[in-house]
Chain A
Amino acid sequence: MTRANLPGWKTMPRGGLLLEPGSAREYQTGDWRTIRPEWHPENCIHCLFCWVFCPDSAVSVKGGKMIGIDYDHCKGCGICAHECPSKPKALTMIPEE
């Protein structure tokens, strides 16, 4: 978001209050990433270690199976790739272009 699109002091809630619950979802921390996890489904054993260890809940899971990375919120910390027990690994880190 550019500065011009952000709310000004006249419309912002006072005192830094956030009046909507769950608003952290709207904060796209993926912007911070310099390296990104790449998922290789052919190597994945769906142990969900990545899902457990991800500090930002950025590993998407459906029906008990890993289905991909939420790149809007993944900060690129690399913990998922580090913890991935598959050999060869189902998650590897590559530089963000």
Chain B
Amino acid sequence: MNKSVALTGNEAVATAMKQIEPDVVAAYPITPQTDIVQYFSTFVADGQVKTEFVTVESEHSAMSATIGASAAGARAMTATSSQGLALMWEVVYIASSFRLPIVMPVVNRALSGPINIHCDHSDSMGARDSGWIQLYSEDAQEAYDNVIQAIRIAEHPDVLLPVMVMQDGFVISHAMQNLEILDDESVKKFVGTYKPDHHLLDVKHPMTVGSLFLPNFYFEAKKQEAEALERAKKVIQEVAKEYAAISGRQYGFFETYRLEDAEVAVIALNSTAGTVRGLVDEYRAKGLRVGALKPRVFRPLPHEELVVALQHLKAIAVMDRAESFSTHGGPLFNDLRSVLYESKERPVVTNYIYGLGGRDLTLDELRRVFDETLEAARAGYYRNRVTHLGVRE
């Protein structure tokens, strides 16, 4: 039975974790993820879940303990933000290379320095090459739904990879929103019981985890990871279909809005996508053929589907809430522009880097993006390939 509730993004994720009731959670609090750990530890203290909650001294230990628990055969979760993810760094790659189906909510926050606690995507974008699956969520509803689906995606025998589920720090994590949650039984039934084929506590079948892979074997291990991410695409779609059947909410690789007959599109991740849709309606009312696309699955990159969805456009603006310092735009821009190299008539693709360190994106700034992209569509070329939007000169 679905229930309508008012929750913050962090409460929504903590609720999903309560309903999943993993065997082990090892986590360290960090702004703006703190509430997730706080709520979940309350559920443990109140006996609402039987999860073994490991209090650790740092995020490096949080990820290490989660990896240890997962390798031992437990369904294990953690959660983090920004510097916490940065401190986990070396072990983040170990989780994916060991093929451990860990699910980790990440509440997006700018990386230091200068030190800042507000939203941008520099933390999770830095982890885009770590071999984790990355799901981005626009709001509390999507964060909740993505965390539940992530368990099934991660543990699927064709995948066996860790999954990060992102939401925007403060904008979503601390904002109260109406959403629908499933009842505990439906979630428990959906995620099922985790039955690993190999695990360290299986003493009848002793095995080694984490042995040295020299030049003779390392490359093959990495190829296996790449293949698992390729296979994840089918699994992500299958899980979404099953989830739609119990929730009524349909998820794909990305969500399009008034895109089919559009000439111009604006692409943005997470909470900004809602603002973009609002302006699409405003411009449509003026008779301008604009649309939007919001990526949900960033790793693996659904490149074939993206080409099909975007190749009819004349001009595209890609919004990046992270700098890559390549001097050639942000991470989302570079991936999408590369994807569109495959299309016959390549749209003009420009990049807007915005909202770093929690800088608000105003409607007027976003109108400038629409206006410039419409202009680029008419002219067939762009004025600026990369624009830092909303920065003072």
Contacts and interface: CB of A to CB of B under 8 A. Distances in A.
Interface of A: 1, 3, 6-9, 12-21, 23
B220 A17 contact: no
A16 B221 contact: yes
B216 A16 contact: no
Contacts of A18: 207-208, 211
Nearest to A7: B220
B206 A21 contact: yes
A16 B206 contact: no
A6 B218 CA distance: 12
A7 to B, nearest CB: 8
B100 A15 contact: yes
A18 to B, nearest CB: 4
B303 to A, nearest CB: 22
Contacts, number: 52
* A-side interface mostly: loop
A12 B97 CA distance: 14
Contacts of A23: 208
A14 B221 CA distance: 7
A18 B208 CA distance: 5
Contacts of B209: 15-17
A17 B206 contact: no
Name the prevailing secondary structure of the B interface residues. loop
Given A15-B98, A21-B208, 17 more contacts: A1-B216, A3-B216, A6-B216, A9-B223, A9-B227, A12-B220, A13-B198, A14-B228, A15-B97, A16-B97, A16-B209, A17-B198, A17-B207, A17-B209, A18-B211, A21-B206, A21-B207
B220 A9 contact: yes
Contacts of B207: 17-21
18 contacts: A6-B216, A7-B220, A12-B221, A13-B198, A14-B99, A15-B98, A15-B209, A16-B211, A16-B213, A16-B217, A17-B98, A17-B207, A17-B209, A18-B207, A19-B205, A21-B206, A21-B208, A23-B208
A23 B208 CA distance: 9
Contacts of A17: 98, 198, 207-209
B160 interface: yes
Interface of B: 97-100, 160, 198, 205-211, 213, 216-217, 220-221, 223-224, 227-228
Contacts of A19: 198, 205, 207
Contacts of A9: 220-221, 223-224, 227
Nearest to B228: A14
Nearest to A22: B206
A7 B217 CA distance: 9
A15 B160 contact: yes
A21 B207 CA distance: 6
Contacts of B160: 14-15
Contacts of A15: 97-100, 160, 209, 221, 224
Contacts of A16: 97-98, 209-211, 213, 217, 221
A12 B206 CA distance: 17
Q: Across the A-B interface, give the 6 residue pairs with the lowest CB-CB distance, nearest first.
A: A15-B99, A18-B208, A21-B206, A9-B220, A9-B223, A15-B98
B227 to A, nearest CB: 7
B220 A8 contact: yes
B217 A6 contact: yes
B198 to A, nearest CB: 6
Nearest to B215: A3
Contacts of B100: 15
B206 A14 contact: no
A18 B213 CA distance: 11
Nearest to B99: A15
Nearest to B160: A14
B209 to A, nearest CB: 6
Given A6-B216, A19-B198, A14 B208 contact: no
